[in-house]
Every structure is written in C-alpha cells, then in structure tokens.
Structure 1
Amino acid sequence: MRNPESTNIPYARFPGQVIAAPPCRMLNANMYGFFIKGKQSSIQKYIDQTLNQVKLPKGHYQALTDFCMLTFTDIENIKPTSEPFASQGYFQETDIIIWLPVAHMIEGKMDHLYWYPAFICVNNIYALVNGRETWGFNKYLCDYTMPTADAPNTDFTITVDAFTKFSPDTKMAPVELFSVKQTSAHSKKSFAAIAEIFEAGEEMFKNVLKMDLDMVKQLFDSFWKPQVDQLLFKQLPDGQAKNAVYQAVCHSPSTVQKIHSIHMHFSGYEFNLNQVDMFPLQEMFGIDLGTQPAILPFNVLFDFNQDAAFTIAENK
C-alpha cells in the first residue's frame, strides 16, 4: 500500500476549517448487526461502478455472496488522538452501514478479503465532513432510532432527507428508508469470543449465506481481531461534476482495542425497505422492496481506533 500522503501540496488549514487529522479513537461502540439478502449480481455491478473503476496494479474486486451486513452502531465517545485536535473535545456518532464482503482476486484466486462500507448514514455533520473528505466514507446525514446499550434489542429505523420520487415537482422531505422490527420475544446469549458465534450459527452461515464456512470465519475474524480491513472508494468531482479530480481505492483499518461484550440474538427480526428514488438500495445491492427476515442478529460492545486511509491505487 502507498503512504497516506499522496501529494506534496500542504493541506491548507485556516480558522473555521473543521478537518481533523487521523487516527481517531472510539469508546463504547455499541453495534447491532443483521444480514439482509440482496443479489450478488447487483452487488457486483455496484462494485464495478465504484471500486473497479480504479485500475489496480493486479486483479479486481469481486462480490462474495447475495447477503449484505447491516449494522447500527452508537459510538459514545470519539476524538482524534493527535494534537491539537485531541484537546478540542469529543463527540458522539451513530453509524448505520451496509457492508459488502469483497474479495481481491488475482488470476482467479482470492488474494485478500475485505469489508466494503458501501452505504453509510451518520447523525452529525462533523462525522460526515471528516469521514467523506479525509477517508472517503460515503456518508449522508440521517435521523434514526435504535436501542441503548442497556435496553432490549427491539426496533431500528433510519430516516433521510431525500427525493422519494424523482420528478420536477418533488420537494425533498424526510422519509423512512428502512427499518428492522422485532417480531418475536426477545432472547439472547452471551459469548466470550466471536468464534463461539460461528459454532452456534454454523448451519445458518453455511445454508443461508451460501458461503464456505472457512471464508465466513475468516471474514468475521478479520472484523474483530485485530482489525477490520475496510475498502473505500474515494473520489472528488471537478466543478462541473463531469470528471474526477481525484479517484482512488483506499484501505483504512479499524483496529479493535477491547471487546466488552458479545451477544447473539435468537429473536425474530423483520427488515423493511421503502422505495426512495434517491437511495435505490434495490438497484444498488439487489435488496427487495418490502419485508424480509433480518437474520443472524448480533450485538457487540467494543472500543476501536480508526486509522488513516492508505491509497491502494488511484487513477491518474
């Protein structure tokens, strides 16, 4: 990987300029996760429209399954670790992310497994601006509901300002994009390690996700120990939004510092996707409109650091 500094031009810092320098440390990240069925062909098309737009030294990126992972994560305390930013204060952030499991393929063989946070909504502008401009996270603002760390795992919603239907007379307005609702009595089991979740849900992973179990274990092991290998598609448009003045695939590891608790939930959950033309998740990832089961629900409370973004490849 290349060094994060891809240019010798100094970044201009001026009063009121809110971009902080990575890395950042995150305390008490309360993550709830589910698996949602899409279509591998749609996911591959999305990967081709983003990551595979950048010419790599070798190989390409490939979708691994029909399923996406959906997470709601309430991070209690975030701040940069370097000065002067570390002394400026901290903030809370909630991330709602659709993750795509992705393989880097070279000559038909799997070189490395990654997680691609392809769709992200956050609840504050500081997180959005820093995430998009520094790392290349595809972030948008939202309102949301989700349980607190000490509450039962019940219902989750996300509301975005969007054009629900594209038309000359449509005014942007808040709309619920999707939700996850509990459909049966709450039940959960604690685990000492992530590996135990795979033992408990081995048949589900194998029969529902339709992925090789060793691959699934490798993916999830990389999500927690020692870091999440994230792929990012970072681009900046020119003044006419016709060409990119910068376009790259980047890698930013999230390094897990401590896991406080791990739970697998055995309650039933239902995912519901609404039609929103501005965010067509059915086209992006092949997720059907309406309802479907939200499977393999889990909850992890942990601390992690978000490291700088390193350039894997960029288009000149």
Structure 2
Amino acid sequence: MTDQHKLYRHFLSNPVAKPPCRMTNANMYGFFIKIDQTKVQAYISNTLNTVATEDTYFKGLGEYALLTFTDIEKIASLTPPFNEHGWMQETDIIVWLPVVKVEKQGDDEDITHLYWYPAFICVNNIYALINGRETWGYNKYMCEYKMPSSVNKLTDFSLSLDCFKHFSPSSKLETHQLLSLTTTAKENNESVLSTLEDFGARVANLFDGEHMGIDFSLLKQLLSGFVNPQMDQILFKQFPDGQGKLAVYQAVMHSPSEIKKIHKFKFLKPDFQLQIEQLDSFPLAEMFGLKVGPQDVYLPFYICMDFDQLEASQVLPL
C-alpha cells in the first residue's frame, strides 16, 4: 500500500461516518433564480476547472440557478457499524448551479453530462458539516434559518450566518441575515396533481434549450433527474496545507442522489420575492450575479421525498 493510499482512520471520537446515507422525509422548497453567466463561469473556473484537462472542462448551463431550503427529518448511515450509531435531523440551504461536462475531440466539443453543483451550502448541525466537508467535499457552513413547518401553511424563509458584513480590521464576527423569501399569500392552493411529470418540461422551458444549442428533449430528460430518479451532484473537494498556500488534496467529485420514494410534489401557487443582502463574507452578487436587493423567483415548488446520498467518486484528475 502506497503513502498516497493509506486507509482512513476512524479513530475513537472521530465523527466521520461512511456513506451512503439514507435521507427520510426530505421536505424541499425550491426556487429558480436569475444568475449572471459570466460570474458563474468565473466561479466554476476558480473551483471545478482548476483540475480541468485539455480534453475535459465544466461550463455553467443557462441563466438560472436553484435555491433550495430542505428540512430532512431523519438522516442515518447505511454502512455498518455506523448504521447502529443513531440518526440526526438536518436542514440544508443550497444554491445549486446547473453545470455541464464538456469533452473535446479536436475542434469538436460535446456536452456529455449534466450535473447539479451545490456551490453554496449552509447546514444547521456540526455532524452534517463535518461529514459533508470531509467525505464528499461539500462547501458547508453553519447557519440559522427560518422556513415553513408545513407546505399547506406557508411562512417566510430566511438565512443568517456568523460572518463579517464588511471586511475591515475593526469588524467583529456577528450574525447577519444573507437572504429572505417572502410571500403575501400564506396558503398553497396548487393541486398535488400539478405535477411531477411536468417538472422537467417546465424547467426546460425556463432554461430555453434551443437558445443554448441543446435539444429540448435531452434538456428535459437531464433536468427531470433533479426529482426522479437520480440527481447527479458534482463537488469541488480540497484541503489546504498548514500554511493555507498549497492544496494537499484537490479533486472534482461526483455523488448521485438516488431517489427512493416521492411522497408529495407541488408547484407552489403564491408569488415569492427574494431579498439578497450584501455580506463581504458571502458576496452572492459577486459569486453568482444575484443582485443585492429584491428580485423575482421562478417555478417555486415543493417536494417531499426519501433518497440515498451515495458515496463520492473522483471525476478529475483521473
């Protein structure tokens, strides 16, 4: 066994558990949001494409990202002995970027896969943060949040983080609100039958496949994977050396979310408005082109599902 492939040590008190893990009753609220393609591509180039090759690179898809608030009732490892350790509740707030893998052959470029890139993700417990960062490579941060307890009685959403509002030598780490979602209507009247079969087509229409040079039927099939039967996640995993100068590990990872059961799906009827605040620690305007201040969201939806988060495998470098 080489030094580069030593066994990971699950020493006593180490909270890292082995995947896959089962997510039961994941209540997800989703909102498509307008982004700036140039800024998104710069973010992708500074993360995923740092390990790109002459033949393969990653590119942002379209003019929309997806913002989700997900309350997961129960998470537990499926792998012994960790499946006997217990379970936890977890809430995730994520900005997902649709990303395509582009492979080059001479002067030709082909889109060979669509991924969802959880480029910004906040969670509510330390176990979720440590396991997500260490094993999969999720760029997770701790947060405080508000979200509805039931899809039938909608309330406002908000996300706050311990961070610096302005970078300066005199700035103190404090809790600041980064974003909120508000609606005037508090009840969702959209029929449950509105429904999952339409999801891929509605999202594909929003993304405008012809405008992007992608066949509409292919785009519909790729985007439907977000809710059924599998969503392919791509991640940028890295760890710094002791000086924070070099990466002792740096790779692009792939981890599928395998949908096991969908309990309910709805398009949300009320109109929502997203409010973004400027925080120097988390500059969403600079990262993704989300404008500071109020803005519209598109195709709000709700889904309750069970899914397995599978192990992560290295995509690049090969």
* TM-score of the superposed pair, with normalisation by structure 2: 0.91
- 1:103-114 paired onto structure 2 within 5 Å: 103-107=100-104, 108-114=109-115
Shift, 1:117, TM fit: 0.5
1:292 maps to 2:295:
yes
Shift, 1:98, TM fit: 0.3
Q: Distance in 2 between matches of 1:195 and 1:94?
A: 26
1:60 maps to 2:57:
yes
Does the 8 Å contact 1:191/1:197 carry over to 2?
no
Shift, 1:153, TM fit: 2.8
**Residue of structure 2 in register with 1:73 after alignment:** 70
* Aligned pairs, number: 309
Q: Distance in 2 between matches of 1:196 and 1:58?
A: 35
**Residue of structure 2 in register with 1:232 after alignment:** 235
Distance 1:184 1:106, change over 3 A: same
**Residue of structure 1 in register with 2:150 after alignment:** 149
Shift, 1:202, TM fit: 7.0
1:115 maps to 2:112:
no
Shift, 1:150, TM fit: 5.1
What's the RMSD between the two structures over aligned residues? 2.1
- Note the residue ranges of structure 2 that are not aligned, 5 or more in a row: none
Q: Distance in 1 between matches of 2:180 and 2:222?
A: 25
Q: Distance in 1 between matches of 2:15 and 2:117?
A: 26
Distance 1:152 1:215, change over 3 A: farther
Shift, 1:7, TM fit: 4.7
Shift, 1:256, TM fit: 0.4
Does the 8 Å contact 2:29/2:302 carry over to 1?
yes
Does the 8 Å contact 1:69/1:100 carry over to 2?
yes
Task: Say which SS state the counterpart of residue 217 (structure 2) adopts.
Answer: helix
**Residue of structure 2 in register with 1:218 after alignment:** 221
Shift, 1:149, TM fit: 3.5
- 1:129-208 paired onto structure 2 within 5 Å: 129-149=130-150, 151-184=152-185, 186=187, 187-191=189-193, 194-198=196-200, 204=206, 206=208
**Residue number among 258, 263, 266 corresponding to 1:263 in the alignment:** 266
Cα deviation, 1:198-220, whole Å, max 9, x if unaligned, reads: 5567755549x988643542232
Does the 8 Å contact 1:122/1:140 carry over to 2?
yes
**Residue of structure 1 in register with 2:317 after alignment:** 314
Q: Distance in 1 between matches of 2:94 and 2:88?
A: 19
- Note the residue ranges of structure 1 that are not aligned, 5 or more in a row: 1-5
**Residue of structure 2 in register with 1:3 after alignment:** none
Task: Say which SS state the counterpart of residue 220 (structure 1) adopts.
Answer: helix
Shift, 1:225, TM fit: 2.5
